[in-house]
Chain A
Amino acid sequence: MRPRLLEWLRQGASGRSAVSALPLLWLVLFFLAPFLIVLKISFSEARLAMPPYAALVEWTHERVLAIQLHLANYHFLFTDPLYGNSFLYSLRVAALSTLACLLLGYPMALAIARASPARRNLLLMLVILPFWTSFLLRVYAWIGLLKDDGVINNLLLALHLIDAPIAMVNTSFAVYIGIVYSYLPFMVLPLYSNLEKHDASLLEAAADLGAPPWKAFLRVTWPLSIPGVVAGAMLVFIPAVGEFVIPSLMGSANQLMIGRVLSDEFFENRDWPVASAVAIVVLIVLLGPIVIFQRYRSRELAGAA
């Protein structure tokens, strides 16, 4: 950095610290502190009171500071099969949806990246546009299509392809459709921004050397696009694991995803400690993917500088 600029920054040191301190304080108060509270409550005992949990740290009557870590909530999560099942179900739904997003999103991103520059912006806008319209209403639109008396069943019945409506809504199938539909743009956009940077002459060289297009793709395009694939996959997988709205509106009542279990524990059973323990376990499970995504993002930012 140029000396003048450094001087400017140094002069404004007091204003500077306010600029960095204000958002930092905000995030510590509204993001870090809440997590510590969740962690704390996950170790406490449920009580019939408001708030419905016991304090961890208490002054007992002998003026002794008593700290009780209550591990029963976690033990409960690992012994009651409801939690294990919904965890595995959530992970499976998230993983398969991510794969489906990749299978559909990769060719889309590639097609956009190889379109003429004039067309690219239009196509890209068409991918982003649904993202700006209400997520809830887009999920709702699918219910109208998939219902027993919905558009798809009516169409198939009218064409005499089926005799009775196919049950599609309130099944896992609907959950997959809903998640792939809602998160597809999150897969396409990072893939596009990766694929768009590829040097076309590499593919020309491969073709000149006699490689058929599929081979050029496997040996050149795919390896170069791995960072984009990872970023897109994490952007779909992480929120999909905790997805709440789509399974609530489209999923079956017998197979609950973990987000729904957390919400039910909290609102229906009013068991805040167990809900908090579920949140902590989800967080621990997602820590790996989150770290991978963060590493990718900081590399991208460094590369752009």
Chain B
Amino acid sequence: MSARRVLLLPTILAFGFAFLYLPILSMIVFSFNASRLVTVWDAAHSPTLKWYGELFHNQQIIDAAVLSLKIAAMNATGATILGTMAGFALVRFGRFRGRALLAALTTAPLVLPEIITGLSLLLLFVAMEQLLGWPSSRGVTTITLAHISFSLSYVAVIVQSRLIGFDQSLEEAALDLGARPAKVFARITLPLIAPALLSGWLLSFTLSWDDVVISQFVAGPGASTLPMVIFSKVRLGVSPDVNALATLMVSIVAVGAVSAALLLQRRERRRERDLRLALADPGGG
């Protein structure tokens, strides 16, 4: 391979990462800027934490963040339960009535533009209110129901790909040893697919925490999630406390992701070491 080609790919990769990270970096830097003119660096009074202070005194943002956390947690739990059921049914149940419909419906939310999902869910809630009198007002309940409906597909996909590469001999062995099916599921299947459930839960949480389009359609006037508040703030112009908020959110995600990666790496290393030891000692300790 020529030297030029060897350099070309890493250069583009570096450019790509710069493209991905420089905006975030600049936002972090300017969150410590004293000037209200977000992008003009006020060297005399910076760095400062005053926007962070302002953020923690902004009741609207705090209320919205609490509401968003609540919805995201409820959504993640509901979506994980329903999505796991769907993924399990699609991989393990062979042919059953409604399989094709279930398969199509679990992939639909992954590929539909959010604006269509939002519109159709709102029209559904309006129609339900007329016919059944429920939900009588739109707010936390309708946002959560809407979020579960699109998040469960992501969970189903993750669980499906975990189950497809799954060795069934452990379950078989447990059944042979006389364990009841429910016990086999709880003691063997569930722990083995637990990582998929965890990543499904986290992904659903993030999707809900991040969603603005669908929430805006199905939320009533009473409920404003954090993305909805940020969206209306940004629409009015760039404001420095949003920089502070963004920095906090990016830091939390970065710390979480790095510690998860380190944890996984350590587990992987330990597994490799155990494997090496087991292979080096064929007599079995």
Contact = CB atoms under 8 A, between A and B. Distances in A.
Contacts of B114: 239, 242, 244
Interface in B66-111: 82-83, 85-86, 88-89, 92-94, 96, 98-99, 101-109, 111
Contact of A24 (B98, B181, B249): B98
A245 B102 contact: no
A259 B126 contact: no
Is chain A's binding surface mostly helix, strand, loop or mixed? helix
B146 A23 contact: no
Interface string A95-118: 000000000110110111010000
Contact of B12 (A24, A108, A154): A108
Given A8-B175, A134-B246, A140-B230, A23 B156 contact: yes
Given A35-B120, A151-B26, A249-B235, 11 more contacts: A4-B175, A26-B149, A27-B106, A108-B13, A121-B261, A125-B261, A132-B206, A136-B210, A136-B227, A144-B243, A305-B164
Contact of B172 (A5, A11, A138): A5
B116 interface: yes
A23 B79 CA distance: 10
A26 to B, nearest CB: 6
Interface stretch (B2-10, B47-55, B56-64): B2-10
Given A143-B238, A262-B115, A130 B102 contact: no
Contact of A37 (B5, B120, B261): B120
Contacts of A140: 27, 230, 234, 238, 242, 246
Interface string A32-58: 111101100100000000010000000
Interface stretch (A12-20, A59-67, A71-79, A80-88): A12-20
Contact of A104 (B16, B38, B105, B156): B16
Given A23-B102, A30-B121, A141 B246 contact: yes
Interface of B: 1-2, 5, 8-10, 12-13, 15-17, 19-24, 26-27, 30, 37-40, 82-83, 85-86, 88-89, 92-94, 96, 98-99, 101-109, 111-116, 119-121, 123-124, 126-127, 130, 145-146, 148-149, 152, 156, 160-161, 164-165, 168, 171-172, 175-176, 181, 184, 206, 209-210, 212-213, 227, 230-231, 234-235, 238, 242-243, 245-246, 249-250, 253-254, 257, 261, 265
5 contacts: A134-B246, A144-B27, A149-B39, A294-B111, A304-B164
A130 B15 CA distance: 15
Nearest to A32: B105
A12 B13 CA distance: 51
Q: Name the interface size band of chain A.
A: 35 or more
